[in-house]
Structure 1
Amino acid sequence: MVYQQKPWLKLYDSKVSENVSVEYSSLFDLLDRSSAIYGEKPALTFYGRSWNFNDLKSVAEAFAASLHSSGFKKGDRMSIMLPNSPHYIFSLFGSFRLGGINVQVNPMYVEREIEHVLADSGSEFIIVLDTLYQKVKNVQPKTNLKEIIVVNLGGEKIALEEGDRYFEEFLAEGKTIPETAISPYEDVAMLQYTSGTTGVSKGVMLTHQNLLANVVQVCDFVYRPFEELIPEDFKMISVLPMFHVFGLSCNAIAGIREGANQLVLPRFDPKELMEVVKTEKPFQMSAVPTMYFALNSHPEIEESGFGDIHYMSSGGAPLPVEQIKIFEEKTGGKLLNGYGQSELSPSPIFNPPFLKAKPGSVGIPIPSTEARIVEITEDGEMVDVPVGEPGELIIKGPQVMKGYWNRPEDTNKTIKDGWLLTGDIAKMDEDGYFFIMDRKKDMIIASGYNVYPAEVEDVLYQLQGVEEAVVIGVPDEYRGETVKAFLKINDSETLSTEDIIAFAKKNLAPYKVPKQVEILEELPKSSVGKLLRRVLREQELQKQKVGV
């Protein structure tokens, strides 16, 4: 019963409640209220141009009117295939206003992936960057697409085919906006397609209530204890991709709720980011681990002003303890790790600024969130494991998705009695801090022993010169599986495979030591910077099949 007692609550700041209440009736209502509160304050800044909160609402409503004029109605799907830009927010909230379902399409997708998302979601509308327009046109015949709205962020405009329009032209066509009743608990606001790290990419159905609840949970946890420290010109960096729910929910929508001026960057460029931090002095920044890896390797990081940012967080993938240490030593800042999934809107657990983080921990559950570590028996019963023991992390709360789009079987496998089975192996200590050990499917069983790749990776990151590390299990006739490490080495260092194995032997039990090491110039990553263990595993299996 220890998990039900929520030992983490004793760690909460006095200004943080055990539960949150959501006062918004829809996601557009959140924008409406922020416009009323913050009015003329800048909401979005993009390469020298700013839009205040009233502007943001006004353009979103104009976009909604144009969508309505084009036949868009409640429940219709609109795909958004843009990098971070004001247009992302305009179109997103324009669709929310009509009760539409926004479909997140990664701008880095190849045509096969674009086709899958568009066809699977049944999108009839898409808003796309002009440089990606031709990819969409190429797959259009195999989809339900009727309307293509194109965004130009600078430079010469390309010629569009008949019927397709640029954003500004489309915006001028709207007349009226119908009143649309939103049922926040039932109506889906967004389809967030999973990255496909564990199989086919599935559309995660996030309702208005899912996203609203998680934004309130996150904001109350992070900002309420430090309200008096938040400056009048509250600025946050928006470099996390908005096409991923971490960047959209925890950054973009949270920024709108909190009245922040979002400094929008369409891509991650370490030098550009450091320049913005130095000149703008933001209060908050979130990023994924590989962004911090790149910053750690940059020679100018010490002078960039990261130490003056009040709140810096990381999520989307495990953040090795050693990389946190390097970042904090070089910048003087405090970097907080967290945990999330698209299916959780995305946040259930992270390290708040009011606590001293425990090395390796992703933090504690946020308000209105229950978390347990369980073993799932053969008959499907979820049995709690003792404190400190590894098991599967399961989560219950208002941020748990409605389910997978058109995949009831997958939904029923993933949500049991309101609990989301994360598929992640974790443990909780006696204080209520959680530690993610690995994906259940990524666990290596070598000679009968369980090996968690993340633990081996954490050790390898402690070796000077290791910039990125991925550990997988490869088939082995004798051991069942054996441990193989793939590494990217910093250009300024020379490390041999022998050096790496010798270091691992000093720091790991023999069965955890990589028996094979491969040094690569680049490791495969997802579009949001997550190192892709699955890709390396598939390549390795293919090599073995053909006898390489």
Structure 2
Amino acid sequence: MSATLSLAAVLAESARKYPEKIAVVDGPQRVTYRRLWHEALTVAAALRELGVRPGDRVALQIPNVVDFPRAYYGALAQGAVVVPVHLLLTADEAAYTLKDSGARLLVCHPSQAAMGAAAAEAAGIPVVAPADLLGAEPLRSYASRAPEDPAVILYTSGTTGEPKGAVLTHLNLVMNSMVNVFDANDARTEDVVLGCLPLFHTFGQTVGMNGAFRLGATLVMLARFTGEAALDLMTREHVTVFHGVPTMYVALLAAAEGRADLPRLRLCISGGAALPVAVLERFNAAFATNIFEGYGLSETSPTATTNQPHFGTRAGTVGHPVWGVEVEIARPEIEERIELLPAGELGEIVIRGHNVFAGYLNRPDDTAQGIVDGWFRSGDLGTKDEDGFVTIVDRKKDIVIRGGFNVYPREVEEALARHPGVVQVAVIGVPHPVHGEEICAVVVADPDANLTADALIEWSKERLGRHKYPREVRFAESLPLGPSHKVLKRELRRSIGRPPV
């Protein structure tokens, strides 16, 4: 008999060990582990009645409310593969996710009903509300799965303009729930964790939710993050652990000015983008705590490295690899094989271990380019010093990270190029004090179109997700081109004020 492993066991085991402990706080709701697991098994039974079989894909379009873990673990308990849908997408973009993943149905929260219905109709699949899945007789236990079976498909722009489904296995995600950045930094059962990172995103889902549930901690949901709302909630619920992207730390610092009732945070984790050392130092001083910065990608489940007390911490670095994972620096110009560089040299960060995904869904060529000689090529440039500390220097490609979300310029360019007044367009990231980077479109316009920046921004809002449309538009007579007639984005960054890559 082959070995079995299910990500559903993360919740099932904590329900067995800590049945009366509060698993989730969602506004006035306080849901115990016993109740949450019972409801997940009820959802599993309802999905089975709807024809969902082990291996089928179930899409979730749900914000940070208790319905997300109910549906997430319910789908896993039935042996289905979870496909989280990014909540900032347009209906057409969401429909692409549904069709490309082969989702059998969409579980959609009422707050997303209009967009979810449009996306599901375009994909030709049924849509169901989470509340409609709570009437069945619960399953006795969760379905048996193999460690290598897919558990979750996360859509990421990666290094091409068209989103790709990164297939993460039960082994990937169970292991990452046990050794991620939270666990590596002295996680405790009595911790109370703020769940403000989007659960459809790999950081919030694996490090926040799965990490907390695997431990038996309490997850306090915050569906819409602001600095003020987060401080109020953390103080009221006695939150001890905060996971966030750099923009969230900036917002918390701003909200903390002149405020005496700050939460007592035992542990803070930063990821998703590089955290400025100045922000780290100001935050640690204001909140009398320590931020531990980590690094990872959707394709690595996500955690690959983190600053860890065991090895010592170093501001400005992302620390050391987590248990069972190797992180090295390779020559970026050699694509067909991995050639590792000595300590201190700049190159491409490559990763191997239990956290590396199974590949891109139905994209063998992309998978072969991403995983070479057993190493995942991150596309990020960095160094590893003699003490083993990894530092992220820049991105190999042109991905823009806005507020912790990856935005690929080509996808934005494709949309803007459809405007009748746009002759040519290049999209880059420019520095932003809150979001880290902002989307900037440099446009060569038709002189007869009388196109304005405000008009193009409004037009793009209807065609791109809220995290993707450009907030800045610059007009130019021409774009700088190289010998092969490719746009020299390095020159654009230099002219607009961002240091070249």
Answer yes or no: same fold by TM over 0.5: yes
Match of 1:410 in 2: 366
Provide the C-alpha distance between the structure 2 equivalents of 1:335 and 1:45, rounded to a whole number of angstroms.
24
Quickly say closer, same or farther: Cα 1:369–1:270, change in 2 above 3 A.
same
Deviation at 1:176, TM superposition (A): 5.2
Matched, 1:171 2:134: yes
Provide the C-alpha distance between the structure 2 equivalents of 1:182 and 1:335, rounded to a whole number of angstroms.
36
Match of 1:316 in 2: 272
Greater Cα shift, 275-284 or 373-382: 373-382
Residue type at the aligned position of 1:131: S
Gap regions ≥5 residues in structure 1: 1-22, 151-166, 444-452, 455-469, 473-483, 491-521
Quickly say closer, same or farther: Cα 1:220–1:194, change in 2 above 3 A.
closer
Match of 2:498 in 1: none
Residue type at the aligned position of 1:202: K
Match of 2:155 in 1: 193
Matched, 1:70 2:50: yes
Which of residues 393, 397, 400 in structure 1 aligns to 2:353? 397
Matched, 1:112 2:75: no
Say whether the 8 Å CA contact 2:276–2:316 is kept in structure 1. Answer: yes
Say whether the 8 Å CA contact 1:63–1:174 is kept in structure 2. Answer: no
Residue type at the aligned position of 2:146: S
Match of 2:497 in 1: none
SS in structure 1 at match of 2:303 = coil
Say whether the 8 Å CA contact 1:211–1:345 is kept in structure 2. Answer: yes
Deviation at 1:236, TM superposition (A): 1.1
Which of residues 306, 320, 327 in structure 1 aligns to 2:283? 327
Match of 2:145 in 1: 182
Residue type at the aligned position of 1:169: D
Deviation at 1:219, TM superposition (A): 7.0
Deviation digits for residues 322-350 of structure 1, max 9, x if unmatched? 21122123222211111110000000101
Deviation digits for residues 440-467 of structure 1, max 9, x if unmatched? 1249xxxxxxxxx99xxxxxxxxxxxxx
SS in structure 2 at match of 1:396 = strand
Quickly say closer, same or farther: Cα 1:431–1:543, change in 2 above 3 A.
farther
Match of 2:210 in 1: 253
Which of residues 162, 165, 168 in structure 2 aligns to 1:206? 168
Matched, 1:277 2:234: yes
Say whether the 8 Å CA contact 1:277–1:304 is kept in structure 2. Answer: no
Match of 2:245 in 1: 288
Matched, 1:149 2:105: no
Deviation at 1:207, TM superposition (A): 0.6
Quickly say closer, same or farther: Cα 1:397–1:378, change in 2 above 3 A.
closer
Deviation at 1:297, TM superposition (A): 2.2
Quickly say closer, same or farther: Cα 1:310–1:51, change in 2 above 3 A.
same
Provide the C-alpha distance between the structure 2 equivalents of 1:214 and 1:44, rounded to a whole number of angstroms.
20
Say whether the 8 Å CA contact 2:348–2:378 is kept in structure 1. Answer: yes
SS in structure 2 at match of 1:385 = coil
Matched, 1:139 2:101: no
Provide the C-alpha distance between the structure 1 equivalents of 2:270 and 2:258, rounded to a whole number of angstroms.
17
Provide the C-alpha distance between the structure 2 equivalents of 1:337 and 1:179, rounded to a whole number of angstroms.
35
Deviation digits for residues 118-159 of structure 1, max 9, x if unmatched? 11111121111213211122233331312x122xxxxxxxxx
Matched, 1:124 2:104: yes
Provide the C-alpha distance between the structure 2 equivalents of 1:289 and 1:301, rounded to a whole number of angstroms.
21
Residue type at the aligned position of 1:189: A
Deviation at 1:263, TM superposition (A): 0.9
Match of 2:177 in 1: 215
TM-score when normalising by structure 2 = 0.78
Residue type at the aligned position of 1:256: F
Gap regions ≥5 residues in structure 2: 402-406, 410-427, 435-456, 482-491, 493-501
Quickly say closer, same or farther: Cα 1:289–1:178, change in 2 above 3 A.
closer
Deviation digits for residues 467-499 of structure 1, max 9, x if unmatched? xxx9x9xxxxxxxxxxx9845469xxxxxxxxx
Provide the C-alpha distance between the structure 1 equivalents of 2:77 and 2:59, rounded to a whole number of angstroms.
15
Say whether the 8 Å CA contact 1:339–1:347 is kept in structure 2. Answer: yes
Provide the C-alpha distance between the structure 2 equivalents of 1:111 and 1:546, rounded to a whole number of angstroms.
35
Match of 1:337 in 2: 293
Deviation at 1:29, TM superposition (A): 2.0
Say whether the 8 Å CA contact 1:65–1:174 is kept in structure 2. Answer: yes
SS in structure 2 at match of 1:296 = helix
Residue type at the aligned position of 2:233: V
Residue type at the aligned position of 1:388: G
Say whether the 8 Å CA contact 1:400–1:420 is kept in structure 2. Answer: yes
Provide the C-alpha distance between the structure 2 equivalents of 1:95 and 1:113, rounded to a whole number of angstroms.
23
Deviation at 1:181, TM superposition (A): 2.8
Provide the C-alpha distance between the structure 1 equivalents of 2:17 and 2:4, rounded to a whole number of angstroms.
14
Quickly say closer, same or farther: Cα 1:432–1:175, change in 2 above 3 A.
closer
Provide the C-alpha distance between the structure 2 equivalents of 1:535 and 1:365, rounded to a whole number of angstroms.
35
SS in structure 1 at match of 2:44 = helix
Provide the C-alpha distance between the structure 1 equivalents of 2:333 and 2:347, rounded to a whole number of angstroms.
12
Say whether the 8 Å CA contact 2:42–2:133 is kept in structure 1. Answer: no
Greater Cα shift, 247-256 or 131-140: 131-140
SS in structure 2 at match of 1:309 = coil
Say whether the 8 Å CA contact 1:80–1:105 is kept in structure 2. Answer: yes
Residue type at the aligned position of 1:214: N
Residue type at the aligned position of 1:269: T
Which of residues 46, 51, 54 in structure 1 aligns to 2:31? 51
Match of 1:60 in 2: 40
Deviation digits for residues 384-423 of structure 1, max 9, x if unmatched? 2221110001000001000001111100100112210001
Match of 1:244 in 2: 201
Quickly say closer, same or farther: Cα 1:87–1:543, change in 2 above 3 A.
farther
Provide the C-alpha distance between the structure 2 equivalents of 1:144 and 1:107, rounded to a whole number of angstroms.
19
Greater Cα shift, 317-326 or 387-396: 317-326
Deviation at 1:353, TM superposition (A): 4.2
SS in structure 1 at match of 2:114 = helix
Counting only pairs closer than 5 Å after superposition, residues 298-447 of structure 1 correspond to structure 2 as 298-300=255-257, 303-306=260-263, 308-354=264-310, 356-376=312-332, 378=334, 380-442=336-398
Quickly say closer, same or farther: Cα 1:50–1:544, change in 2 above 3 A.
farther
Say whether the 8 Å CA contact 2:5–2:144 is kept in structure 1. Answer: no
**Count of aligned positions:** 430
> What is the RMSD computed on CA atoms of the aligned residues?
3.4
Quickly say closer, same or farther: Cα 1:283–1:179, change in 2 above 3 A.
closer
Residue type at the aligned position of 1:204: A
Residue type at the aligned position of 2:252: L
Provide the C-alpha distance between the structure 1 equivalents of 2:50 and 2:467, rounded to a whole number of angstroms.
41
Residue type at the aligned position of 1:211: L
Provide the C-alpha distance between the structure 2 equivalents of 1:197 and 1:294, rounded to a whole number of angstroms.
29
Quickly say closer, same or farther: Cα 1:330–1:406, change in 2 above 3 A.
same
SS in structure 1 at match of 2:60 = strand
Quickly say closer, same or farther: Cα 1:542–1:424, change in 2 above 3 A.
farther
Greater Cα shift, 239-248 or 382-391: 382-391
Match of 1:35 in 2: 15
Counting only pairs closer than 5 Å after superposition, residues 509-548 of structure 1 correspond to structure 2 as 544=478
Residue type at the aligned position of 2:242: M
Quickly say closer, same or farther: Cα 1:311–1:216, change in 2 above 3 A.
same
Greater Cα shift, 76-85 or 369-378: 369-378
Counting only pairs closer than 5 Å after superposition, residues 496-507 of structure 1 correspond to structure 2 as none
